[in-house]
Structure 1
Amino acid sequence: MNDTPTTPAQRRRWETLFPAPKPILAMLHLGGADASERLERARIEAAALRAGGVDAVIVENYFGDADDVRRVLEALTVGQSDGVLGLNVLRNTELAFALAEEFPVDFIQIDSVAGHLDPAADDEFATRLAELRAASNALVFGGVRFKYQPVNSGRPEAEDLALGADRSDAIVVTGEGTGMQTDLEKIERFRRALPETTPLIVGAGVTDANAAEQLRDADAAIVGSFFKDTYLDTGVVEPAHVERLMRAVAAIRAEL
Structure 2
Amino acid sequence: MSWLREVFGVSKPVVGMVHLPALPGSPLYDAARGMEGILERARQDLHALQAGGVDAVMFCNENDRPYTLRADPATVAAMAAVVGQLRAEIRVPFGIDILWDPIAALAVAHATGAQFVREVFTGVYASDMGLWSPSAGEALRYRRAIGAEGVRVLFNINAEFAAPMGSRPLAEAARSVAFSSLPDGICVSGPMTSMPVRAEDLRAVKEVVGSLPVFINTGARHDNIVDLLPHADGVIVGSSLKVDGITWNPVDPERVRSFMAIVRRLRGE
- The TM-score, its normalising length taken from structure 2, stands at 0.81
Show the counterpart of 2:26: none
Contact 1:200 1:218 in 2 (8 A): yes
Q: Name the structure 2 match of 1:24.
A: 14
Q: For each residue in 1:123-143, what CA deviation from the matched residue of structure 2 results, as whole angstroms up to 9, or x when unmatched?
A: x82321231343421000111
2:5 to 11, 15, 26: 15
Distance 2:221 2:266 in 1: 13
**Equivalence for 2:185:** 170
Post-superposition offset of 1:48: 1.1
Aligned to 2:164: 151
The one of 88, 92, 109 aligned to 2:97:
88
Measured after TM superposition, the shift of residue 211 of structure 1 is: 1.1
* In 2, Cα distance between equivalents of 1:156 and 1:244: 35
- 1:194 partnered with 2:203: no
CA distance in 1, matches of 2:141, 2:252: 39
Structure 1: gaps (5+ residues): 1-10
| Pair 1:109 & 2:124 matched | no
**Kindly tell me: are residues 27 and 235 of structure 1, through their superposed partners in 2, closer, same or farther at Cα, counting changes over 3 Å?**
same
Measure the CA separation in 2 of the matches of 1:159 and 1:186. 11
Aligned length: 239
Identity of aligned residues (%): 26
Instruction: Output the CA distance in 2 between the equivalents of 1:156 and 1:209.
Output: 27
Q: CA deviation at 1:156?
A: 4.3
Instruction: Report the alpha carbon displacement of residue 232 of structure 1 after superposing the two structures with TM.
Output: 1.2
Change (3 A) 1:211 1:152: same
Helix, strand or coil: the match of 2:174?
helix
Q: Structure 1 length as normaliser, TM-score? A: 0.85
**In the aligned structure 1, how far is the partner of 2:229 from the partner of 2:44?**
28
Structure 2 portions without partners, runs of 5+: 23-29, 65-74, 127-131
Q: State the Cα deviation string for residues 208-250 of structure 1 (Å, max 9, x = none).
A: 2211111011011111001110201111111000011001011
Indicate the residue corresponding to 2:154 in structure 1.
Answer: 141
Other-structure match for 2:53? 53
Question: CA separation of 1:86/1:189 partners in 2, compared to 1, >3 Å: closer, same or farther?
Answer: same
Q: Which residue of 2 aligns with 1:35?
A: 35
Q: Report the CA distance between 1:81 and its aligned residue.
A: 6.5
Which residue of the partner structure matches residue 3 of structure 1?
Answer: none
1:65-115 CA-partner distances (Å, limit 9, x unpaired): 4333122211221x45731010001122211111122111100101x2232
Structure 1 CA distance for aligned equivalents of residues 125 and 35 of structure 2: 33
Structure 2 letter corresponding to 1:16? E
* Two-structure CA RMSD over aligned residues (Å): 2.2
